[in-house]
Structure 1
Amino acid sequence: MSRAVNARLPRIGDWADFAGLAKLQESVLPQTLAAASASPFYRGRLGETLAECPLTSKADLRDAYPFGMLAVDRSRLATYHESSGTTGTPTASYYTEGDWVDLVDRYARMHVGIGPGDTFLVRTPYALMLTGHVAHAAARACGATVVPADNRSLATPYAKVVRLLHDLDVTLTWSLPTDALVWAAAARHAGLQPGRDFPALRALLVAGEPLSPARRDRIAHLWQVPVVQEYGASETGGLAGECPHGSLHLWADRAIFEVYDPQTGRISAEGSGELVVTPLFREAMPLVRYHIGDRVEVTNEDCRCGWALPVVRVLGRFAAGAGLTQLGLEEIVFGLPAEYGVLFWRARHSAGGLHVQIEVDAGHAEQAVRDLDAAIGTAYPIEVRAEALPPGALVPEHVLTAAPEVMKPRGLFTDGEDWNRALRYY
């Protein structure tokens, strides 16, 4: 089955321009709608064209738990996954072997390349989530050595990750952008210098959070390697990847993307709003006009890469009534001079204005507060209170240095041992 799917998957270069891309999408869409109609959820709900089909919400996926979206016999399933549940009850997703060919192929489009010479550290969740498994499978398919450093496991605290990065000559990593900042702080606590003591590292691959240009530049400056962004979801796999010129392109040869304006209800191919996606080659769990809800800006603009794929900016969440985004605030925070040493921050918006806290070296605290107050006040018509905290206030030292004891359950103990831990794993 996977060979058949692989044979029909488009490749970058199969279309010359956006008109050719649209023609490719139109040729596949009827089969996509027919496949979706085989699931209990979509049976009788779909029109003959995409415009005639309603949006599919996260609530729909939750209501269909666990297999209401299943469009093939369960014997064909290869894996079952659930989302992290950070925005509510987790959603289920499942994939056939053929679906996995598509998932791996999209991930392996990383422009930095993945090959047999790479040692690839995967620092995103495994367990029920999809992200770690896709990166692992793609790296193995490309011949790389995988270091499965799951970020939900007590067995790999930050101090151990730094040791692995250093001792194993890791060349590529896959993580949240924030993790790359935490590693830098943990490395310093271990007496190591990012950008100097990790000479094998050649790129940091990141996803899972909005990433502003300023924070991206700060991470790249710390580690002295490129920071390469990907964007996706557990329900869909990878949706966008970065070209060699730094644009984040939607994989519109594998899915149709639309932008929904929640104020007007209008749906368009470009503009600002909330992302809607229709995967074109999904077997187990076809999705039609799935309203992911992430706020984005999408443009069909030419790029020097020549891929003829839409460019997306992922904006993050808005704070009520303020016009604020995490991405916008992050750009300001990491726009502070690098010598201030700011790696970690948080902000809270209320009726009284915006309270922002940053960890900053003591010698720069007063100036950093003045600069931050002025920059946010210039960007947003809002009362601002910036506060400088000492390093360790937001990310405590024990988080960076801890090595928690991990043990298996046991039943037999000697006289001096604590048998109250008989059935504990940690």
Structure 2
Amino acid sequence: MNQPHALPELGQWSSLEELYELQDRRLPAALEWARASPFLKPRFEGTSPPRNVAGLAGLPFTTKQDFRESYPFGMLAVDRKELATYHESSGTSGEPTPSYFTDADWHDVTTRFVRSAVDISPADTVMVRTPYAMLTTAHQAHQAARLRGATVVPADNRSLVTPYARVVRTLRDLEVTLAWCLPSEALLWAAAARAAGLEPARDFPALRGFLVAGEPLTEARRARMGELWGGIPVRQDYGSTETGTLAGECSQGQLHLWADRFVAEVYDPATGRSAREGRGRLVITTLYRRAMPLVRYDLEDTVEVSSAECDCGWHLPVVRVLGRSAGGVPVGGVRVTPHQLEQLVFELPVEHGVLFWRARAGEKRLEIEIEAFQGHSAAACAALEVTVGIGLGVPCEVRSVPAGTIVPLETLTRGHGFVKPKSLFAPGEDWDKALIYY
């Protein structure tokens, strides 16, 4: 079995300058591992690998297209006998990309994950509600929770076995203390709980926190989520299938890059330059990855990175993730982003009850639909039209639609049917469902 690396722990350095020295010391060994990758080896032929982080600028980026063209094992830098798991991304921005880990690589990922201010312990029951399948998100949370001795509830996501009604029942009956999920899930669970006659802020007293990832999250939506569930904290994690967790949240509510485990660059497409901080696309080079070392991997995510010191004492760069959709869409000459709209929607007063919304860009006008509590539709629509007009400078039309329009009530309330293929049917049963999962 591949043995865990000697990994740096939080608190081993007293400043960012000392952290960057750690990166420079570790980089040559990491690049030596990278030379074993069939994809990366040609990039080092005929030249000496960089001896420090500054030298990385002379190497080309690794792109998602490179992953696809190297499918399945063109990036593999170890013997296949050393692999622990193989994964593929969801394909949000195109064809899925492959990713693989040794046991030692997983030790790196899980020990990063458990750094979060959520502080998982053996007393916790952790619901894992991101996709297991071929993604890494659920697997890293599952392994990290077990590393800390917690009980895991593997609820999966978009699963026939665990529809929202069952998630709500499980949260309550098993006294789940922590939930790992997409931010949207916390809103969907709140709606499903109310559909079941429960109140999220009252009827789930064991739940002490959400750990969320997978979507950019505005402060307004984060605040609404916590408020819905009785004021519990909502902590972010940030990463990808190719990398595992890249950043986690500290006790001060800041999202920090795990820059002791990889080198982070911020690439500005407008100038072609990279820096340690600023706004641009996040590019990373791994320092401890064996199965699939990454050298200047462009995640295509727009971020803002700052080296300002944080009161938590971690001495790690702070990152704000704006997402791949940060460019937005044009409306009447103004570029509107999902981040901007989400912030305005969830700044609406909580008594309007708006959890679900959707928007569509027209040539000259933005159309927005919301689901609001009965009796609050007119006020919510009027308020949002004003804030969008003033805040974004675009004309818009806001309509309130009946509850169940954006998220059907059946989605929130239906139970799980049989979830194995069936071949033998009783009289009166629909045998057209043979061998189909329901």
The reply to whether residue 284 of structure 1 matches residue 291 of structure 2 is yes
Q: Following TM superposition, by how much is the alpha carbon of 1:50 offset from its aligned partner in structure 2, in angstroms?
A: 1.0
Which digits, 9 at most, give the CA deviation of each residue in 1:66-107, with x for residues without a partner?
111000011100000000011110000000011010011011
Q: Aligned equivalents of 2:240 and 2:403: distance in 1?
A: 33
Q: Following TM superposition, by how much is the alpha carbon of 1:406 offset from its aligned partner in structure 2, in angstroms?
A: 2.0
Q: Aligned equivalents of 1:188 and 1:418: distance in 2?
A: 33
Q: Following TM superposition, by how much is the alpha carbon of 1:361 offset from its aligned partner in structure 2, in angstroms?
A: 1.6
Give the equivalent residue in structure 1 for 2:208: 202
Q: Following TM superposition, by how much is the alpha carbon of 1:415 offset from its aligned partner in structure 2, in angstroms?
A: 4.0
Q: Following TM superposition, by how much is the alpha carbon of 1:419 offset from its aligned partner in structure 2, in angstroms?
A: 3.4
Give the equivalent residue in structure 1 for 2:117: 111
1:293 to 284, 297, 300: 300
Counterpart of 2:74 in structure 1: which amino acid? G
Q: Following TM superposition, by how much is the alpha carbon of 1:278 offset from its aligned partner in structure 2, in angstroms?
A: 1.1
Q: Following TM superposition, by how much is the alpha carbon of 1:239 offset from its aligned partner in structure 2, in angstroms?
A: 0.3
Q: Indicate if the aligned counterparts of 2:129 and 2:155 stay in contact, CA closer than 8 A.
A: yes
Counterpart of 2:371 in structure 1: which amino acid? E
Q: Aligned equivalents of 2:311 and 2:101: distance in 1?
A: 34
Give the equivalent residue in structure 2 for 1:374: 386
Q: Aligned equivalents of 1:156 and 1:410: distance in 2?
A: 19
Q: Following TM superposition, by how much is the alpha carbon of 1:354 offset from its aligned partner in structure 2, in angstroms?
A: 1.7
Q: What is the correspondence of 1:236-275 to structure 2 with a 5 Å cutoff?
A: 236-275=243-282
The reply to whether residue 333 of structure 1 matches residue 345 of structure 2 is yes
Residues 1:261 and 1:409: Cα distance change in structure 2 (over 3 Å): same
Q: Aligned equivalents of 2:433 and 2:382: distance in 1?
A: 51
Q: Secondary structure at the match of 2:361?
A: strand
2:410 to 392, 398, 415: 398
Give the equivalent residue in structure 2 for 1:42: 40
Q: Indicate if the aligned counterparts of 1:355 and 1:384 stay in contact, CA closer than 8 A.
A: yes
Higher alpha-carbon deviation: 78-87 or 357-366: 357-366
Q: Indicate if the aligned counterparts of 1:358 and 1:389 stay in contact, CA closer than 8 A.
A: yes
Give the equivalent residue in structure 2 for 1:129: 135
Q: Following TM superposition, by how much is the alpha carbon of 1:115 offset from its aligned partner in structure 2, in angstroms?
A: 1.3
Q: Aligned equivalents of 2:307 and 2:336: distance in 1?
A: 25
Q: Secondary structure at the match of 2:216?
A: coil
Give the equivalent residue in structure 2 for 1:9: 7
1:100 to 92, 95, 106: 106
Higher alpha-carbon deviation: 411-420 or 175-184: 411-420
Q: Aligned equivalents of 2:119 and 2:393: distance in 1?
A: 44
Q: Aligned equivalents of 1:409 and 1:217: distance in 2?
A: 42
Q: Aligned equivalents of 2:389 and 2:426: distance in 1?
A: 64
Q: Aligned equivalents of 1:399 and 1:192: distance in 2?
A: 17
Q: Aligned equivalents of 2:271 and 2:99: distance in 1?
A: 30
Q: Secondary structure at the match of 2:370?
A: strand
Counterpart of 1:275 in structure 2: which amino acid? L
Q: Following TM superposition, by how much is the alpha carbon of 1:320 offset from its aligned partner in structure 2, in angstroms?
A: 3.4
Q: Following TM superposition, by how much is the alpha carbon of 1:173 offset from its aligned partner in structure 2, in angstroms?
A: 0.4
Q: Aligned equivalents of 1:381 and 1:2: distance in 2?
A: 56
Give the equivalent residue in structure 1 for 2:17: 19
Which digits, 9 at most, give the CA deviation of each residue in 1:311-366, with x for residues without a partner?
11111312234332222211111001000101011122232232221111231211
Higher alpha-carbon deviation: 357-366 or 19-28: 357-366
Q: Indicate if the aligned counterparts of 2:4 and 2:105 stay in contact, CA closer than 8 A.
A: no
1:161 to 157, 167, 189: 167
The reply to whether residue 65 of structure 1 matches residue 71 of structure 2 is yes
Give the equivalent residue in structure 2 for 1:319: 328
Which digits, 9 at most, give the CA deviation of each residue in 1:401-426, with x for residues without a partner?
01141242344444444433332222
Give 4+ residue runs of structure 1 displaced > 6 Å after superposition.
none
Q: Indicate if the aligned counterparts of 2:85 and 2:100 stay in contact, CA closer than 8 A.
A: yes
Residues 1:2 and 1:226: Cα distance change in structure 2 (over 3 Å): farther
Q: Secondary structure at the match of 1:363?
A: coil
2:354 to 342, 350, 360: 342
Q: Indicate if the aligned counterparts of 1:172 and 1:204 stay in contact, CA closer than 8 A.
A: yes
Residues 1:4 and 1:379: Cα distance change in structure 2 (over 3 Å): same
Q: Secondary structure at the match of 1:201?
A: coil
Q: Aligned equivalents of 2:273 and 2:56: distance in 1?
A: 14
1:30 to 17, 28, 31: 28
Question: Gaps spanning 5+ residues in structure 1: where?
Answer: none
Q: Percent identity?
A: 55
Q: Aligned equivalents of 2:371 and 2:180: distance in 1?
A: 25
Q: Following TM superposition, by how much is the alpha carbon of 1:263 offset from its aligned partner in structure 2, in angstroms?
A: 1.8
Counterpart of 1:245 in structure 2: which amino acid? Q
The reply to whether residue 423 of structure 1 matches residue 435 of structure 2 is yes
Q: Secondary structure at the match of 2:170?
A: helix
Give the equivalent residue in structure 2 for 1:303: 310
Q: Secondary structure at the match of 1:307?
A: coil
TM-score norm. by structure 1 comes to 0.97
Give the equivalent residue in structure 1 for 2:400: 388
Q: Following TM superposition, by how much is the alpha carbon of 1:215 offset from its aligned partner in structure 2, in angstroms?
A: 0.4
Q: Secondary structure at the match of 2:282?
A: strand
Q: Following TM superposition, by how much is the alpha carbon of 1:4 offset from its aligned partner in structure 2, in angstroms?
A: 4.2
Q: Secondary structure at the match of 1:78?
A: strand
Q: Aligned equivalents of 2:73 and 2:216: distance in 1?
A: 31
Which digits, 9 at most, give the CA deviation of each residue in 1:214-252, with x for residues without a partner?
100000000021101100000000000000010000100
Q: Following TM superposition, by how much is the alpha carbon of 1:265 offset from its aligned partner in structure 2, in angstroms?
A: 1.4
